[in-house]
Amino acid sequence: MTAHATQQKAEVPIGTYFKALFRYGLIAGAVYVIFEYLKVPILSMIAGLFALGAATIVASLYEILRPTDG
């Protein structure tokens, strides 16, 4: 089933929850492998993930706020 604007309560398919759990489990597994087998310091990984998010936000704000010519 899909959600419609006229429904009082939207129903989300159960598969959607499994897909989200699988996605985050895959990310957690990748982080574990990098940390455990490649011996990358955990603080460096966390800083890199935060830097990626910060760069995305800054790039988005730049695109929104920059003046355009004609």
Angle value at C-alpha 40, between 39 and 41, nearest 5 degrees: 110
Q: In the chain, where are the structural domains located? A: 14-64
Please check whether residue 12 is in contact with residue 3, taking contact to mean a CB–CB distance below 8 angstroms: yes
21-25, 38-42, 48-52, 65-69 — which one is most confidently predicted on average? 21-25
DSSP notation for the chain: ----TT-SS----HHHHHHHHHHHHHHHHHHHHHHHHS---HHHHHHHHHHHHHHHHHHHHHHHHS----
Instruction: Note the pLDDT of residue 36.
Output: 86
One-letter amino acid identity for 30?
A
| pLDDT tens figures, 18-32 | 999 999 999 889 888
> Is residue 5 scored above 80 in pLDDT?
no
> Is residue 6 scored above 90 in pLDDT?
no
